[in-house]
Amino acid sequence: MGSPQFSGPILQALVDDELFNVVGVVTQPDRPKGRGRKLIPPPVKELAQNLTIPVVQPIRLQRDEGVKEQLRSWAPDVIVVAAFGQILKPDILDLPEYGCINVHTSLLPRWRGASPIQAALLHGDEVTGVTIMKMDPGMDTGPIISRETYRIPDGITYGELETVLSNMGAALLMATLPDYMNGKIALITQDDLLATKAPLINKKDGLLDFSQPGKTLVQKVRAFNPWPSAFILFYGQNFKILKAHFIEDQSVEKGMFLIKEKLPAIGCDDGWLVLDEVQPAGKKKMDGVVFLRGNREKWLNELG
């Protein structure tokens, strides 16, 4: 069970391993996107179809008796879940002999919830990782089967880190599943007292507040690239900030637009947020220097 690009390497790893036979894929419905609102399939559906694996796409799995019956007919020994995006109830969790196994992109119990990678970047974590856990009815509360740690490099974005953790999760899953299903791994109960929550990210969360410290703003830029993107309003339109760095300066006027290091910059609580890569409304992403070539005066005249 999975939907976004993150789930692809995990599905591919299961297909490539001769020990396992993938009998079906459960993913989210196709969604309308773009100006034409054309229905676009989830990446996992496209991969599954290329691999000639049956696919079902329930709007709400718990309410779709037809899909539940399909799951029962597949008679899976284990269900692997990777960013599926729907809550599973006991009737699904208890269906396979070995339960439902989740590939979660944090070191549980830290960052339970919908946005663990973004939460780690937003809070400036130095390390993150992948946890393979046996699911229970709670939100990422099930026992831990295995974990692997990853030190977060400086400057890495959400999209880049997601790719790293997806591949890491696929490798860890394949190293874990055989021993787990053979009863060779002792499961570890999570300590709820150490748990933190990673709530769902919304588009509006990307709007930057320049009363905040520069370090916080840089963390937001990294955590929201590529989605929902950190942004400001520039002449009334959304102006995405894709990469940025911070220059400390205690004499800055918050919200002031200036040029620093030949790049567009905005004053914040304790210095300057310097914009390395941007995407103006209706344009492709570009280097901050390139943006200023045609917008220098407009930038300096912007009141914020």
3-class state of residue 155 by DSSP? coil
Peptide bond into 41 cis (omega under 30): no
For 11, the token pair is 């599905």
Residue 242 sits in the same domain as residue 267:
yes
Q: Number of folded domains in the chain?
A: 2
Q: What is the CATH number of the domain that holds 146?
A: 3.40.50.170
CA distance readout (Å), 154 to 158, 190, 264:
12, 29, 21
Question: Which of 138, 172, 198 finishes a domain?
Answer: 198
What is the predicted pLDDT for the residue at 145? Answer: 98
Identify the pLDDT of residue 302: 72
Where among 179, 198, 217 does a domain terminate? 198
Contact partners, residue 182, CB within 8 Å, separation at least 6: none
Q: What is the pLDDT along the chain (304 residues), one digit of tens a residue?
A: 998 899 999 999 999 999 999 999 999 999 988 777 889 999 999 999 999 999 999 999 999 999 999 999 999 999 999 999 888 999 999 999 999 999 999 999 999 999 999 999 999 999 999 999 999 999 999 999 999 999 999 999 999 999 999 999 999 999 999 999 999 999 999 999 999 999 999 999 999 999 999 999 999 999 999 999 999 999 999 999 999 999 999 999 999 999 999 999 999 999 999 999 999 999 999 999 999 999 999 999 875 4
CATH number for the domain spanning 251: value is 3.10.25.10
- Of the candidates 124, 156, 278, the one whose C-alpha atom is nearest the C-alpha of residue 266 is 278
- Statement to judge: residues 72 and 127 lie in one domain: yes
**190 and 239 together in one domain:** no
Own/partner pairs for 278-285, CB < 8 Å, 24+ apart? 278/239, 278/240, 278/241, 278/242, 279/229, 279/239, 279/240, 279/242, 280/234, 280/237, 280/239, 280/240, 281/234, 281/237, 281/238, 281/239, 282/237, 285/240, 285/242
H helix or E strand, kind and range, residue 133: strand 127-134
Task: Provide the residue range defining the domain that includes 25.
Answer: 5-198
Question: Are the CB atoms for 25 and 53 separated by under 8 Å?
Answer: yes
pLDDT for 304: 43
